Structure 1
Amino acid sequence: MRCLLCNMPLYLATHGVCSQCIKNLPQQNKVCHQCSLPHSLTTERCYRCIEHKPNWDMLISTSEYINPLKKLIHKLKFYRKAELALALARLMFLAWYKRRLSEGIIIPDLVTCVPLHHVRYWSRGFNQAELLAKPIAKWINRDFVPYLLVRRQRAIDQKTLSLKDRVKNVETLYLCRQNLSNKSVLLIDDIVTTGNTINAISQQLKKCGATYIQVICLCRTVL
């Protein structure tokens, strides 16, 4: 097995990406601890999150939505390269573990993922967020609950909508029916763009009693 990025032999084949390439991934400068977008304040949270607090509590991203991870995500999602998921999940876990070592962030009680509509699931053959979430749950020794959330109907593709319409498009899209009283949740997605989807999901999770919501994504789009 060779590194997915530099094609050099790997000491452990399951890693997928060598340690040198991990070091050379595009580094994020100072980012908000809640939304993972760049900011210049001396506080942990940016002015956006201070003025309009999201429903989730922390977001950790591995990289901005740029190459080389952008290219790997495209291969995973659109070329059905499901074998890439384990290596990408490891990068997400390492980003989370780095924050745990430096800041002592909690280990959530359970892990879930952003669901796909069943039509898209059938056409693609898998939910990429589910493939990423399952090994992460195993590595942090927590239960993985892939069907915690129900997607009510198929939404219009977010990429075709304005920012205002994107919010409306997801407000009533997700539903959680499980009692999450006094539970903390780790929510997994591959890409976070506007944050509207994870915000709507986090609202549902907190309505069901979740006390704290961490989000891990592979890439965070800088708007």
Structure 2
Amino acid sequence: MLTMPAACWLCRMPLTLAHHGICSYCQRALKPPCCCPRCGLSTFYPNEECGRCQRHPPSWQRLVFVADWQPPLKELVKKLKFSQQTALSVMLARLILLTWLTARREGRLQRPDLLLYVPLHRSRAWRRGYNQLDDMARYLAHWLAIPCAPGGLSRKKRTRVQHFLSARARRRNLRGAFKVEIEVKGRHIALLDDVVTTGSTVEEIARLLLRAGAASVQVLCLCRTL
């Protein structure tokens, strides 16, 4: 029986390796702009921390993202997050891995020894039916040969949806929302999220991890809103 070849999610051209999900041509187009290696915001000097980070550094040490919050990646993230198209998980996780490997080759990254990801409150997870980061974290941990702790972080309170809140309101909304459930003392943590906007969520979690004794925190995500 003949099988139909898999197609790139973006240009619909046939793929030799179906699980890649995206062809090499489209993949090359998904490049972040010149940005600060710590906060991920635009800068003229990509190998140095920007003035913002030198004055007021975030709690995490590095931020790795595939591209900014623009089509076509923006549309793929929305399909995974809100349309239950979980088949996208392996392809999107692979994009993060390739971006991480590039940054690693450039000498800017500590190799992590534990992968954690931003948890959903149980009521939101029940309504959505899944956490879009579950499968992505599992793939990434496997490829990086490090453990993943699905219950390593918990969300203690149900927060308001962040999309329409200001940066100050986001920080207030997340205060006391998370809890570290495992021992992280001395460990280098990779923290996975799908989209980093103001950074309030990953800042709150990174701060908790460092307070619990983590050696370092690096943030991995698909999109950074610039």
TM-score bucket of the superposed structures, by smaller chain? over 0.9
Take 1:140 and 1:50, find their aligned partners in 2: how far apart are those partners? 30
1:201 aligns with 2:205: yes
Q: Is the 8 A contact 1:177 1:208 kept in 2?
A: no
SS of the counterpart of 1:66? coil
Q: Cα distance, 1:177 vs. partner? A: 3.3
> Structure 2 regions of 5+ residues with no counterpart?
1-5
- Counterpart of 2:129 (choices 107, 125, 137) is 125
Amino acid across the alignment from 1:125: G
1:27-38 aligned at under 5 Å gives the runs 27-38=31-42
Q: Cα distance, 1:37 vs. partner? A: 0.8
What RMSD, in angstroms, separates the aligned Cα atoms of the two structures? 1.3
SS of the counterpart of 1:160? coil
C-alpha distance 22-42 of structure 1, shift in aligned 2 (>3 A): closer
- TM-score with structure 2 length normalisation? 0.94
C-alpha distance 120-103 of structure 1, shift in aligned 2 (>3 A): same
- Aligned twin of 2:18: 13
Q: Is the 8 A contact 1:178 1:208 kept in 2?
A: no
Deviating beyond 4 angstroms after TM superposition, the runs of 4 or more aligned structure 1 residues are none
C-alpha distance 4-42 of structure 1, shift in aligned 2 (>3 A): closer
Q: Is the 8 A contact 2:117 2:133 kept in 1?
A: yes
> Structure 1 regions of 5+ residues with no counterpart?
none
Take 1:126 and 1:173, find their aligned partners in 2: how far apart are those partners? 19
SS of the counterpart of 1:28? coil
**Number of positions where the alignment pairs a residue of Structure 1 with one of Structure 2:** 221
Q: Is the 8 A contact 2:37 2:47 kept in 1?
A: no
Amino acid across the alignment from 1:156: R
* Percent of matched pairs sharing the same residue: 38
Q: Is the 8 A contact 1:186 1:216 kept in 2?
A: yes
1:67-216 aligned at under 5 Å gives the runs 67-103=71-107, 105-216=109-220
Amino acid across the alignment from 2:85: K
Take 1:36 and 1:104, find their aligned partners in 2: how far apart are those partners? 13
Amino acid across the alignment from 1:48: R
SS of the counterpart of 2:182? coil
- Counterpart of 1:2 (choices 4, 7, 22) is 7
C-alpha distance 221-42 of structure 1, shift in aligned 2 (>3 A): closer
Take 1:21 and 1:107, find their aligned partners in 2: how far apart are those partners? 28
Q: Cα distance, 1:28 vs. partner? A: 2.5
Q: Which deviations, in whole Å up to 9, do the C-alpha atoms of 1:160-198 show, x marking residues without a partner?
A: 322211111112111113221110000000000000000
Take 2:218 and 2:116, find their aligned partners in 1: how far apart are those partners? 11
C-alpha distance 101-117 of structure 1, shift in aligned 2 (>3 A): same
